[in-house]
Structures are given as C-alpha cells and as structure tokens.
A and B are shown apart, each in its own frame.
Chain A
Amino acid sequence: MQGFDVNKQGFDVNKIVQVSPTAHAQSAEITQWQIVNDMKIAVGFEGADIEKYRKKVLGVTDVSCLARYGVKGPQAAQWLADHEIAIPANSNSWTMCDQKTLVMRLGSSEFLLEDQWGGGACKQLAADSSRQANVYKVARADAAFILSGSAVLNLLSELCAIDLSEQSLSSKEVVMTQVAGISATVLRQTIAGEPVYRLWCDGTYGAYMWQVLLDIAVELGGGAVGLAQYQN
C-alpha cells in the first residue's frame, strides 16, 4: 500500500465491517448494535423483557449475520460429501450437520449452508478456493430471519399464498416461494426447543422484507426481537 496512513485518515482500512442488509429499515434510536461475524447486527430493541414477550407472541429477528455458503452443479452433492457435510437425501429438504450447520437442498443440485451458533462449516468451505468441474460456488448475500411465536401463521398467511402450517409443511421441508411478493426460502426449525419459521430472501430486499414483517408483527401484538434473544 503506497503512501496511505490509515490512522491519520481516521478510517481503519484493515478492519472490514459489514452491515446487515436490513439495517436501513431498523430505527436507529431503539436499536442496540453489535458486531457478530464481522457484521453489524441488531441484538436488542426495547429490552429483554419486552422482546421475550414478543418472541412468544410474534417475534421477528434478523439473523443475516450467520455465515452462509452456496454451491450448485451436478457434482455439488458429491463435493459436499467429500468435505464431510451431511446432505439431505431429497430435493427441497434440509438437514442439520453436526447440530451446527443447516444444510438446505434447493431443488436437486443446489445447496445453501448456514452455520448456526458455533457452526464453522461455511467458513471452512469458503476457505477452499479450488475450483472443480461441475461444482459452482454460489456467492450469497441473504437477508435471514427467525419468525417466532403463536401468531406466526397469521403473519405468514398475509404474506404467502401457500399453506405453511405443520399439517402441510413437513418438518424437514424447504420451500422456495413468494413472500410479500418476492422470492424467498422458508422452512420450519426448532431453536432451543422453540418451534420457529426461518425465512431467507435476497439481501437487497432485506430492508423491505423487515419493514413488511415488522408492520404486521406489530399489528398482531408482536414486534422486533434482537439477536441477543437467540445468542446463548
């Protein structure tokens, strides 16, 4: 680096900080931020008690900061297997790899992995820069959400035309559908014993999605829940 003194400029070029794609929609006043996985993310809003309550009624949590890895191609399944990643047997289903990494099979030959708390598989895979025939890395920048609480189906029924209730969406199923008019991926998951819905959409729609989810959540007696409610 030629003739550039970072400190004098008051900007640390070596410290790469990313911002959650939903941040724009989160009201600055009430949001407590924290850097998780190098991403500035909302960990709290109006205090633990309120958020615990919302979580039970209808909580919306931004978990975009979780590490993700995408790969597709005829050999993608094999390649993941070679990297000791447990993959779901069927199209549009998911599995948990050593309780730490969510592995989604989107269609038959595309995969989306997401490290849960303590998971590290995505980082490891990302480190492998070797390129192999019929295995194509899919760069991801998703906005990711946890939707929790007793009224969650009411919220989803306003945003999605298909039936996402337990009777219809089996526990290991992944659906690629439209939510609030944009493409999204949805599944049911259990986090710390709590059944929740997970939702992913393109990060550039993140702020919009957050706004829509929150508007309805508030109408239904819930609201924003910070990441802290899920960090253990």
Chain B
Amino acid sequence: MASVPIHYYLFFCSVLFCIGVLGVLIKRNVLIILMSIELMINSINLLLAAFSAYTNDPAGQIFVFFIMVVAAAEVAIGLAIVVLIYRTTHSLDIDVLNKLKW
C-alpha cells in the first residue's frame, strides 16, 4: 500500500493552520477564536504524527499525546475564563477586552 508523500501532509497542515490563524484574526467571538486555536493545535498535532510515522520515531506521537493533554487543560481553563468574561461584560466580543495595557 503506497503512502502519500510527506509534502501532502505539510501542505494540508499549513492550510489548516492558516485557517486557524485567519479565524483568530477575523472573528470577534472569543469562543470561535478558541476553536480556531484548536484548529491550529490539531494541524500541528497531525504534522507531528505524520513526521513521527515517516521517520519511524515514536517521540513525535508521544508529543502529540502531551499536546493533547495540554490542549485539554487549556480548553478547560479557557472556557472557564470565557464564562467569567461573559458574566462580567455580558459579551464575548474580543474588542471589548481592551483593558490589557499598562
């Protein structure tokens, strides 16, 4: 069973990553931004797994595993913060959050 070239994975993941970036930049809804971040993380994960498989090195997949761990934690905290923000501002608009200076 012939495999696809590694380049396919590279390009696919780049596109997915850029979609994530676009989402982060273009959306105002904090929730969607978090989702876009998940997209980016997933693209990276896939790439890691792909390289791991292509080079026959298990370390990459282990890392994917750890990244998932971190991502899960991040989402849990992130969503908690989103809920908190919504409670205080009654909005999920990121442009309302402009107190992050000084």
A and B physically associate: no
B residues with a Cβ closer than 8 A to A are none
